[in-house]
Amino acid sequence: MTAKPPVVIVCVGMAGSGKTTFMQRINSHLHSKREPPYVINLDPAVRNVPFESNIDIRDSLNYKEVMREYNLGPNGGIVTSLNIFATKIDQIINILEKRTAPNPETPKAKPIKNIIVDTPGQIEVFMWSASGSILLESLASSFPTVVAYIIDTPRTSSTSTFMSNMLYACSILYKTKLPMILVFNKTDVKDADFAKEWMTDFEAFQAALKQEEDGGSFGGVDGGGGFGGGSGYMGSLLNSMSLMLEEFYRHLSVVGVSSMTGKGIDDFFTAVGEKADEFERDYKPELEKRRKERQEEKASKREKDLGKMMKDMNVSESRNASGGPNKAGVAQRHHVDTLSDLEDNSNSESEAQMVEPDEDEVDEDGAEDEAYMDDGLTKRYKQAIAPTTQAASSGGDSSEQSFAKYLRTTQVG
């Protein structure tokens, strides 16, 4: 039975949400179960991390040197470092595939089941940059990939900050097109039950919103001149957004964890397993579809380039004004074969093949030559510009191989 591929867990979150501490907790949790993960650090600006990374962007790039060399600020330095690192993504994927593949020399060794990825604290630098998209798409093309969005629970207790986090999570979900888990962190400080209730019970969110409006959380004054009530704009906006996000909540897994105590970590990995199955069932076919569309687009572009080249060389307009075959083109055909035969065969054979045909023979074969000019050259050009030419093994005749060789020699193709 084929072993399941490892699951990639990409941890993203706002600055101060406890993302790095969460990474440390899940890393130690997996080690305690004797299932050590493969750890990747993509934050070039972090000084110290409380876990050991197998692949660390800091080993390849010096963040401060990048800032100095390109005259950049902090965020620009992070983006540029990620862009440079993303140019080696093929090597990273090769390393991951080798490290996570079963080793025949040690068949009893446990395979790697999880790859955890730490990202920069400036979430927008990673999620909305080209390098972030390249890294995520490359990982998702090789392994089941899940995005873990870390949320600071104590700072999300108000309806406005809660809704801001939900909108950001929504944008990440539709930007990455990957399964997502909402991780309400720091539950040792404040329990996440209120957030789960707001996501499942619209009336509970409305009641909390009304309470904040009456308490003057949104500013404004009430009818008696005292504070409270607000302008109504903020409450109306949050109400509308909560209705809009009701469908969005159904596609998320929500867990509450404490990175300090380890509470809820088992629930998190249960959600990871469910999302990995969802990736294989729902997301992978979509990725395959997009990959196939890109391949078809490349093939179509090659066909257009071929047509443009044939048009520029006037191959399809090789007839004379009377509609007969272009004898210059016929002579060119024999000239091409003669050149390649001179390269491949002996002198005696070359002299025999260099004899020009009689005009009667040319006239009798006019229709064949005309078809040759329209179809034969097009076919030969396709063979000449194909990414891999295997004329010798494809069963084609020697003239087709000779023509492709002539094109390469004269640099026509």
For 382-412, the pLDDT digits (tens) are 665 555 444 444 444 444 444 445 445 544 4
d(CA 239, CA 255): 24
Confidence at residue 382, expressed as pLDDT on a 0 to 100 scale:
62
pTM of the model: 0.69
Contacts of 95 (CB under 8 A, 6+ apart): 55
Share of the chain above pLDDT 90, in %: 41
Please, where are the H alpha helices in 87-201? 89-100, 123-127, 130-142, 159-176, 193-200
CA of 294: how far to CAs of 144, 288, 289, 291, 348, in Å?
21, 10, 9, 5, 51
d(CA 269, CA 263): 12
Judge whether residue 72 has pLDDT over 60.
yes
The single-letter DSSP state of residue 34 is T
- The residue-averaged pLDDT of 190-209 equals 91
**What tokens appear for 292 in the block?**
């196939």
CA of 298: how far to CAs of 72, 89, 285, 318, in Å?
36, 21, 20, 29
- Mean predicted lDDT score pLDDT of the chain: 77
In this structure, are residues 129 and 83 in contact, taking their beta carbons and an 8 Å threshold?
yes
In this prediction, residue 94 has a pLDDT band, given cuts at 50, 70 and 90, of very high
Residue 78 CA neighbour count, 13 Å, CB half: 20
- The residue-averaged pLDDT of 349-375 equals 50
d(CA 20, CA 31): 17
- The residue-averaged pLDDT of 214-226 equals 59
The single-letter DSSP state of residue 123 is H
- The residue-averaged pLDDT of 52-64 equals 93
Integer-rounded Cα Rg, in Å, for the chain is 33
Share of the chain above pLDDT 70, in %: 71
> 293-346: per-residue pLDDT in tens?
777 887 888 788 777 777 776 655 554 444 555 444 444 444 444 333 434 444
Judge whether residue 9 has pLDDT over 60.
yes
Residue labelled with tokens 């004797």: 34
Confidence at residue 59, expressed as pLDDT on a 0 to 100 scale:
93
Confidence at residue 412, expressed as pLDDT on a 0 to 100 scale:
44
Judge whether residue 164 has pLDDT over 50.
yes
